[in-house]
Chains A and B, each alone.
Chain A
C-alpha cells in the first residue's frame, strides 16, 4: 500500500547558514526518501511579533495555513517573523529550515521552507530576502499583518512580482487604501492580490448583472459612460468587518460608472450592525428604478423592479489556503482592483 503521509523535517539554523543547512537537509532526506523538489516561485511570508514575544522559529514553519498554501502552490517559502523597532541588527539571526515531503511512495514531492526571526530596522529585511530567494523564479510577498495601521516597507513590498494581502484585516480602511495605492504608483509596482477582493467576485458579478439590466453601460477606454452619472445614487450597507469590502465595491462601481471628468456619483457607505447580509448595494437611477444586490455567506442576489425572478448565484466556499494559492497561480495586473483602490481612496479623501 503506497504511503501518502506527509513528512516534515525541520532544523534550527541561522540566517547566514540557512542555505547551507537547507542543502544539507536535502542531502539527508534524499538518502532516505527520494522526492522531487517542487518549486514554482518564492513565497515570502511576513508577520510581525513584538520583540518580547518568545518566537519558536521552527514552529513558524509548521503554521498550518502556510504549509497548506505551499502544498497547493509549490514554493520556496521564506517566513519572516519580524520584531520592529530600533533594535540592534546583528548577524546570524535565529532561523529554521524545513522540507515537507508529501505524495504517494514513488511520486513524492518536496517543498522547502526557511523561517527567520528578524529584528531591528525594517530596512534590513530586504537584504535577508534577497539572499534567500531563488533567482529566476517569480516572487510573491504575502503580508499577514494589518498593513492599514503599519504600512510595509515599500522596498520589501515591491521586491516581489506579486503582493498578497487581505483587506478584511484592515482596521483603518483609508490607511490601507492609501498604502496600497502608493504601491500601485511605485516604479516597480507589484501585481496586487487582495483576498478580500477575491471574496467579492460573486458580488461583482451580481452588480454587473444589475448594471446591465438597468442599462448602465460601464465607462472605460473608448466606451461611453452612463450618461448623467450624477443621477445615480449608490448606497452600500455592510456588516461588521466588511467595511473595506464595501469601500472597494464603492470604488469599483465609481471607476466603472463615473466618467473621469464627470460630476460624480452619489455614494454612501454605512455600517449596519444588525445586518443579516454581508453587504447590500442599492443602486438608484432616475430612469430605470435601479437595482439591489445582496450577498451573504451562501449566495448573491440581484433584484430590480423589472425582474420577475431575482438573479441568484451561489457563493462557493473556498478554504483560506486555496484562496491564497489561487491568487499565487494568477500572476498579472488586476486592472479592476487597481481602479477600485484609487477610486475608493479618492472618495475617502
Chain B
C-alpha cells in the first residue's frame, strides 16, 4: 500500500504466526541486530502472537542462558529501553538448540525441536530460516535442511522461507555458485537476500520522494542534474573483523551491495506499480546500464586506498596494516572512490561519484544530488563569488532525513546572498525514532513481501560489474596502495578523481 488511509480494497497485511530459525543464533548479528529487532516488533505488537524463535549455535547453552544472551543484546542495542514485562513475554518465545550446522544429525534434532515448539505453542508450521552464518555454510545448511525434509514447496502452506545475508560470494562466479546451491533447495520466491540498507527509512523514502512529489522527478535527469555523490562513511576501523575484511575489502563489503542499491534507487525509471518484481525489474535495469569500469578505466575511475595511522577525535589510532589480524603486506582496500556513469537516456553524461571507507572522520551515509548552476548573470554575475548550486541531500544515517540547499537573500537593506537549507528530519517531524532496518525487513519476510530484498539477477548483475574492477585491480600488483591518514576523508587520489572534473566532495 503506497500511502494514505487504509481502505477496504487495501486490507492490512496479515502476518501468520511463524517460527524463525536463526542459524548462527548466538553470533554477533543475532546479538546486535536480530534479537533487538524481534523484541521491538514484539513490543509494537507486530510480531504475530505465539511466534517463536529457535536459535541454532555451536556453543552449548540452555534456553534460559540464551534468553539472557538475548536480553543483553536488547539492552545494549535496542532502540528503546527494555521493559521487564514486555521482555518476559518475549523471552518465553526464545529457544536454543546447540549443534554444528555442518552435521546432519543436528537437523534431525532441529526437526524434532521445531515440532515440539510448534505443537506446544499452537503454531501452524510457517518457518523462516535465517542464515546468520558465513556464506561457505549457505550450501551445506540448505542441503541439510532439505535432507531433513524441513523445506516445503513455495505454493503450499505452511510456508518455508530463507533469509541470507551478505556477502553472497566474493565475485561473480562464487555468487553464482551460492545462488545455484540455494536454488537447488529453495525456489527464488522463497529466498530473501537481505541488504539492510534497503530497510532504512530514508532509503525506502527515495522512491516516495521522487515519485510522490511533483517538484523533484522532473529534475532527475541529465538536463538538470550536474552530478550525484553517494558517501557511506564509517568512523570505525576494521576492529575485530580483520578475518572477514581481509578477504573482502571496501568494494565487496559496501559497493557491490549497499551503494549499488542506492544508485539503482536514485537512478531508476518510475516503476509502473509498487509490486515487488516491478520495482526490482527497474532497479535491475539501472545496474545493467552501469558503464563497465574495466582495463585502463580502472586506474582512472576506481581509486582504492588503505587507512594509515592518524587520529580519531584527537586521539591516535593505528593504520590498517598495524591492526590485529591484518597481513603486513595486505593490499586489501579500506577505501574506494568511483566515478560511475549510468548509460541510459535519462542519465547520459551525469557522473555518479561514489565513496566509502573505514576510519573516515564520522559515521555518515548520504546521497546528494547536485543540480546544475544558474547562468552567470544577474545574481551569479560575479565570478569571484559564484552562487552555490542547489543540492538535494538524502541523509541515510545519522539524523535520517533530507535537505534542499538553496540560495537566499540575507535579511537587510543590501542584497547579500547566502546558502541556506530547507531541512526535514524524521525524528523531529514524526516525533519518534524510525524502526531499525531489520525490524522492517523481518516483518516483510513474515508477510512475504520481497520488494526490499535483492533478487538473484540483481545480485549477479552487481557482481558482474564489480568483478571487472576487481580484475583490473588484480592486474595492478606493483607497489603499495595509496593511503590516507585515519580521520581524513580519503586519499588525495580520491580528491583528484572528482576535482579533475571541477567538482568537489561534499563536506559531511
Contacts and interface: CB of A to CB of B under 8 A. Distances in A.
B314 A137 contact: no
Given A136-B403, A333-B384, A91 B508 contact: no
A341 B416 CA distance: 25
B306 to A, nearest CB: 17
Contacts of B499: 187
Given A91-B314, A120-B314, A136-B403, 4 more contacts: A92-B315, A123-B311, A130-B362, A335-B384
B487 A333 contact: no
A332 B393 contact: no
Given A329-B416, A331-B385, A135 B315 contact: no
A40 B314 contact: no
B314 A118 contact: yes
A215 interface: no
Please list the 6 inter-chain residue pairs (A to B) with the smallest Cβ-Cβ separation, ordered nearest first: A332-B385, A130-B361, A127-B487, A135-B508, A127-B311, A91-B315
Interface stretch (B25-33, B276-284, B324-332, B417-425): B417-425
Most buried by B among A130, A135, A137, A329: A135
B405 interface: yes
Given A136-B506, A137-B421, A333 B313 contact: no
A133 B507 contact: yes
A333 B420 CA distance: 19
Interface string B378-393: 0000101100000101
B489 interface: yes
Given A136-B403, A332-B385, A90 B314 contact: yes
Interface of A: 15-16, 40, 89-93, 116, 118, 120, 123-128, 130-131, 133, 135-139, 187, 329-335
B364 interface: yes
A30 B372 CA distance: 38
19 contacts: A15-B313, A89-B315, A91-B312, A91-B314, A93-B313, A126-B311, A126-B487, A126-B488, A127-B312, A128-B313, A135-B364, A135-B366, A135-B508, A136-B393, A138-B419, A139-B507, A331-B385, A332-B382, A332-B385
B316 A124 contact: yes
Nearest to A92: B315
Contacts of B421: 136-137
Contacts of A137: 421
A125 B384 CA distance: 30
A187 B391 CA distance: 23
A127 B361 contact: yes
A126 B362 CA distance: 12
Most buried by B among A120, A136, A331: A136
Contacts of A124: 311, 314-316
B423 to A, nearest CB: 9
Contacts of A116: 314
Nearest to B398: A19
Contacts of B364: 135
B74 to A, nearest CB: 20
A93 B382 contact: no
A139 B410 CA distance: 17
A40 B409 CA distance: 13
Contacts of A89: 311, 314-316
B487 A40 contact: no
A131 B506 contact: no
Interface in B403-417: 403, 405, 410, 416
A139 B507 CA distance: 9
A342 to B, nearest CB: 15
B310 interface: yes
Contacts of B393: 136
Contacts of B487: 126-127, 130
B404 to A, nearest CB: 10
Nearest to B508: A135
B51 to A, nearest CB: 34
A333 B314 contact: no
A90 B385 contact: no
Contacts of B366: 135
B170 to A, nearest CB: 32
Given A89-B315, A329-B418, A131 B361 contact: yes
A135 B382 CA distance: 26
B384 A332 contact: yes
Contact of B362 (A91, A131, A138, A187): A131
Given A126-B487, A332-B382, A40 B313 contact: no
B504 to A, nearest CB: 8
A16 B313 contact: yes
Interface string B420-441: 1100000000000000000000
A138 B387 CA distance: 13
Contact of B410 (A92, A127, A329, A333): A329
A47 to B, nearest CB: 16
A295 to B, nearest CB: 23
Contacts of A335: 384
Nearest to A118: B314
A130 B486 CA distance: 12
Contact of A136 (B235, B385, B486, B508): B508
A122 to B, nearest CB: 11
Nearest to B485: A123
A7 to B, nearest CB: 21
Interface in B297-341: 310-316
A90 B507 contact: no
A118 B506 CA distance: 26
Nearest to B382: A332
Nearest to A326: B416
B391 to A, nearest CB: 8
A208 B119 CA distance: 95
A209 to B, nearest CB: 22
Given A90-B314, A128-B314, A135 B506 contact: yes
A176 to B, nearest CB: 23
A33 B410 CA distance: 27
A125 B311 CA distance: 9
Contact of A91 (B313, B418, B488): B313
Contacts of B403: 136
